[in-house]
Structure 1
């Protein structure tokens, strides 16, 4: 969100969102025969400037969109979507009385739940506030873990989950545990907050597979930073991205336990299929292989099922840590980055700005023999979306360099971001349209989203790319069965310019 970068992805496809709504891959009743490769913009609304349209959720009962607005005030803007071609700002919910800053919203059956980090000190416990979508009356105020960054209802409405990032303060004198809060709606909104202490004994094995724990204290539970949640269609399993840690956690909602951590490993940029545009100072866009590894470090996550196999999809954005007490990122051209002369005999050439010099790497990794220089280079993010087996965590598919290449072909690739995450995939969401599983991918730095058919998870098929507002953050999809006009809709909220755009596909 905007706290992590100046213009963060705020795309919102109206059933999910990169931090939004009921991300359970609901299979809606099909009422129309639509072509998922023909989405077009049909409506737009500007509700403010930077930070004004971050994450949104849609309420089927009231036909309203609820959008986080952190531009000049701490509030939720309410948009009437009765006519999707003419969205109308009709009200705002003032969040000042709740002493928290909104990060995410979700809806279910006439209720709006908002995730708030503590306004006094974001290392303190956060909260979830629940409102009626009809009259915005407060239903419940619930304490959760520190810095709830994303919130979602389960498909059956029985649970509300928050991913509590638990970021440290600048000098690391306070570093709360990262956690997951599970709220039981029918049990007076009782809360169970899960942290990761029980997995600390697995650290050695996890690190060999690419999991990352790195801080001044090396406190395992405090170093974990949950980012985003997706819940299975049967509301039994949740998967949570641990972005900075390069992993995904799997949660059993019946037992309310974290059952597994999937370390995600690395992407090999020396392979031609993963060739990347590595410099913003090389005079153009050129995709080449490099002696470099990339942590996947996903932000958003979604899930779907094909032939009784559960899959998860990740947007591999990448993220560094930059605090006064701890920094793990430097450019390769920095004098402190010394390359091993045996492994990198052409180090001087590689450190040039037109070569690898501008690339940001993780400076707490790569010295494999402990002699003070870098034997390997590890970057942030994989510049791709990936599909993984939801049961085993095994990689099924990676989009390699297609997102950046398609953005270039479409004329929206930002060469100024070549040295830092490229088009920057941040949002993903999968839904059923007709007999197809359709994936939406939001690209923060390309100001666009892409549409794929992932009915065959091993060979996704690109369908189209569409322009959004500035810096889309999350994706929200509204199925035709719940839409105000009985047509599927994608809503994109872009926090860079505060616009909300609505897209609709053609009929077959």
Structure 2
């Protein structure tokens, strides 16, 4: 369901928010100004904690149950968070007295699906959906004592509630009654009755004395006059509610004292250029070259930033979604629109969700505002790219991008607590996978600090057309022989694979060049002449060879490891697909020698008898040292007892194989342990990443080991020495522990860098952490 952020964010913000007016009508009262908003370039927001909702069930999240954190509010002192958990029909409570160490306080059943929440005094006010069906919508307002976490009163709402907000003076509670349509009925479009409305609760006195008033939102000049489907509500200091009607692409303003609709107007359309609209066949490339004309904004979240202006998050639904946000004046005129800037931001920081390119892109879901110090800020949550973008509102009608913050997957709710210098996001996505990497719904806590921003850790420069180099799904790392440059590769999530040049001397590191891997000489096609077909040897399927090369000679391989070649250019290790267990080997594990410009110059193959053992987990890392290539196989192949470390003599062109003993699986969630990258240390010594396939609280094995190949005969089992357990380094980011730490390299000055693969923002948050571990491998 489409949920809304707590109105507490707006009420706290509006007590101090002072944005210059931008074209409001003459009858709109002005807001008294305490002081002008002034930009502050010395303070930034940084994540200080992540609270997994499953911690309410068990400290290690052992229970594999669906949870969510959709909308979040705070007690008036800002010390307790209350969030909605719709899959469990409950609200949860979290103590954030120390925001860097949130503590679970338990949960309370709601007798239905909680959809939104706000706070008045000592009480949390929760909108609860109790509808038996789409055609018989029903709901209630549940009043909960925050201190005792007990229900003290309930009020019938007579429809399915979605968003709730409270006025700053506490006189009025506004509840959006959406009466959501059934997307599976007919063509799934409105109109589907009964239509929604806005319910006003006069909230002076004890909750038992509160009365309700309904405001009809039908018969306005909009797309579906009988079916408004209101989505989100925010209240300004003059007790005027602004309500978004997403499917109708419409906005309504209601005077809460009189219960009258005072204004309504279309949210309008946007035309966008230099965006990516293509994701098929999946996976694809991100190409910021396409255009979109007259796209309906279809706003979701909305927040007032003064009594004369409000901001909408233009998520989209039926026919729209403009991939950004809009600053509106109260008369319906547009003071500012984000245009394509949020799409470019996601491409620059590696958070483009390419599987959503043909739909609504990054999908801005929600907005909140607040004054921190002397600066007014706007916060925009991207549901599909899982970030919170922060904008400085000091200059009238010109929100200025300040920074971007990583979030757990799919942030829905946004809450500002300026009195404590805190911002909270509630991320609803959850996937309690058994054995595999789970996705954990969470609350993310950010603090306004006199410190530099810690995210992103990598951002790209612009191409010649002014658009950023789009990137994601980084795999291996390799350092240049001198200086601060490292090279990374994108994996098989994308077609047209590339090598990236990254300058680590700046923060964030600059992805400053992309090198497309190409096969102009047709070397991949010639593999069919030397590799047996699966029908006769279970090693390679010739029929899949054409799919590996595109018309422009770029290639669609699975680059997992990269090394700088001593003679110039690079070695790229490509992981094969399929395995003998299912008799479906589709591509072999291959090593490509490519030039400095990405042209494939040679291909190194495994012996046929080793190919015959292939599973789907093959090459992960590669290193060159002393005239040899050394490759790490991720997991054990058929008939072996350990994963292989392959050694290829570049002069003799012969293979030998050693075996690497893995740590045992120790995660309560099971899964597996395997190898990732490998980097040369000299004198036949190498460092390897050993990791489990677990994330968040399930992760237990994220380590760097050192191995020595000196004097080891073909077939020997290696010994290993622990260099560093990097779980503390991953936890130091204050987010969920990232599953795929897949890149490792050492600069000439001894600094060791680690990077994770964000899986192309597919079933993950997209967070990429490039971490300098210091001189741990000297």
1:499 to 439, 442, 455: 442
1:150 positional shift:
0.8
Partner of 1:250 in structure 2?
253
Distance between the aligned counterparts of 2:79 and 2:448, measured in 1? Answer: 19
TM-score, normalised relative to structure 2: 0.49
Determine if the alignment matches structure 1 residue 26 to structure 2 residue 11. Answer: no
1:268 to 271, 277, 281: 271
Partner of 1:186 in structure 2?
204
Distance between the aligned counterparts of 2:10 and 2:194, measured in 1? Answer: 27
TM-score, normalised relative to structure 1: 0.74
Determine if the alignment matches structure 1 residue 152 to structure 2 residue 161. Answer: no
1:38 to 36, 39, 44: 44
Alignment of 1:155-174 (within 5 A): 155-169=168-182, 170-171=184-185
1:50 positional shift:
4.8
Partner of 1:336 in structure 2?
none
Question: Superposition RMSD on alpha carbons, in Å?
Answer: 2.4
C-alpha contact 2:40 2:375 (8 A) present in aligned 1: no
Alignment of 1:389-404 (within 5 A): 389-390=329-330, 392-404=331-343
2:317 to 316, 319, 327: 319
CA shift digits 1:266-323 (9 cap, x unpaired):
1123xxxx33210112731122343632100000001112xxx610100000012xxx
3-state secondary structure, aligned to 2:449? coil
CA shift digits 1:18-59 (9 cap, x unpaired):
3443523333599xx976861111112111365421111100
3-state secondary structure, aligned to 1:290? strand
Determine if the alignment matches structure 1 residue 104 to structure 2 residue 116. Answer: yes
C-alpha contact 2:127 2:141 (8 A) present in aligned 1: yes
C-alpha contact 2:411 2:425 (8 A) present in aligned 1: yes
1:195 to 216, 234, 243: 216
Distance between the aligned counterparts of 1:171 and 1:45, measured in 2? Answer: 37
C-alpha contact 2:9 2:417 (8 A) present in aligned 1: no
Distance between the aligned counterparts of 1:256 and 1:466, measured in 2? Answer: 38
Alignment of 1:32-431 (within 5 A): 38-48=44-54, 50-61=66-77, 63-71=79-87, 73-96=88-111, 100-122=112-134, 123-169=136-182, 170-171=184-185, 175-186=193-204, 188-197=209-218, 200=219, 203=221, 211-213=222-224, 220-221=225-226, 223-234=227-238, 236-269=239-272, 274-281=273-280, 283-290=284-291, 292-305=293-306, 310-320=308-318, 362=319, 380-390=320-330, 392-431=331-370
Q: 1:186 to 1:266 in 2, by over 3 A?
A: same
Aligned residues: 399
CA shift digits 1:358-381 (9 cap, x unpaired):
xxxx4xxxxxxxxxxxxxxxxx11
Q: 1:394 to 1:174 in 2, by over 3 A?
A: closer
CA shift digits 1:429-450 (9 cap, x unpaired):
1112233221001001111111
Distance between the aligned counterparts of 1:61 and 1:479, measured in 2? Answer: 11
C-alpha contact 2:250 2:267 (8 A) present in aligned 1: yes
3-state secondary structure, aligned to 2:128? strand
Q: 1:498 to 1:254 in 2, by over 3 A?
A: same
Partner of 2:399 in structure 1?
460
Q: 1:396 to 1:34 in 2, by over 3 A?
A: closer
1:62 positional shift:
7.5
CA shift digits 1:340-360 (9 cap, x unpaired):
xxxxxxxxxxxxxxxxxxxxx
CA shift digits 1:51-72 (9 cap, x unpaired):
421111100347211111123x
C-alpha contact 1:442 1:448 (8 A) present in aligned 2: yes
Which fold has the larger relative contact order, with Cα–Cα distance below 8 Å and residues 6 or more apart in sequence?
A: 1
C-alpha contact 2:49 2:99 (8 A) present in aligned 1: yes
Partner of 1:323 in structure 2?
none
C-alpha contact 1:35 1:506 (8 A) present in aligned 2: no
Q: Which runs of 5+ in 1 are unaligned?
A: 5-9, 11-16, 204-210, 214-219, 321-361, 363-379
Partner of 1:377 in structure 2?
none
3-state secondary structure, aligned to 2:299? coil
C-alpha contact 1:226 1:243 (8 A) present in aligned 2: yes
Q: 1:298 to 1:174 in 2, by over 3 A?
A: closer
State the structure with more CA Rg.
2
Distance between the aligned counterparts of 1:36 and 1:175, measured in 2? Answer: 53
3-state secondary structure, aligned to 1:244? helix
C-alpha contact 1:104 1:114 (8 A) present in aligned 2: yes
C-alpha contact 2:72 2:82 (8 A) present in aligned 1: yes
3-state secondary structure, aligned to 2:127? strand
Q: 1:134 to 1:398 in 2, by over 3 A?
A: same
C-alpha contact 1:22 1:155 (8 A) present in aligned 2: no
Distance between the aligned counterparts of 1:61 and 1:505, measured in 2? Answer: 17
1:189 positional shift:
1.2
C-alpha contact 1:145 1:181 (8 A) present in aligned 2: no
1:121 positional shift:
3.1
Partner of 1:348 in structure 2?
none
Q: 1:174 to 1:27 in 2, by over 3 A?
A: closer
C-alpha contact 1:302 1:313 (8 A) present in aligned 2: yes
Partner of 1:367 in structure 2?
none
Distance between the aligned counterparts of 1:37 and 1:50, measured in 2? Answer: 37
Distance between the aligned counterparts of 2:41 and 2:292, measured in 1? Answer: 41
1:417 positional shift:
0.9
Partner of 2:379 in structure 1?
440
